[in-house]
Amino acid sequence: MRRQLTAVAATVIAGMIALATPAAAAPADKSQVLSGWTQTSAASYNSWVSARAGQSSWSAYGFDWSTDYCSSSPDNPFGFPFQTACARHDFGYRNYKQAGTFSANKSRLDDAFYADLKRVCSAYSGAKATSCDATAWTYYQAVKVFGFTAAVDNRAGA
């Protein structure tokens, strides 16, 4: 049983490393890499954060790493650090728009954003957690409703 768990762990780690491997060494095409970095899982989020830290290694893919973080909303509302979640959301919106497949991926991008926000909120307890969760829900509802307009109009990217 222990050997099986070790094998599974090794497979998961290898998969995460493959997602975070620079473009020069990665055989994956841009759409596969983009998809890997825009899923709802913590592993996807962590791979994107790692790639963002070394984004020059991914220049061959031509990703748009620009961000305005949480657009016209506070990046860290009530002290909750939502800035990185907003940056990943911008990354997804901007790159799927560039690929011409934004509409087909918007719902998942918004769900990934909400998952990222909930991970931020999981660090809190009690009333602070409740407040964070409510704020995360509000941000999520805003991008679900207004994100399409912002992306299509080539504004902030939500």
- What is the per-residue pLDDT across 92-141, written as a single tens digit (0 to 9) for each? 999 999 999 999 999 999 999 999 999 999 999 999 999 999 999 999 99
Measured in whole angstroms, how far is the alpha carbon of residue 80 from the centre of its chain? 17
The structural domains of the chain, with segments of one domain joined by +, span 2-152
Query: Locate tokens 């964070």: which residue?
Result: 132
Q: Which CATH class is domain 2-152?
A: mainly alpha
Please give the DSSP secondary-structure letter assigned to residue 77. G
* pLDDT for residue 149: 65
Catalytic residues: 89
- CA–CA gap between residue 63 and residue 91 (Å, rounded): 8
- Burial class, 60, CB count within 10 angstroms (exposed 0-12 / middle 13-18 / buried 19+): exposed
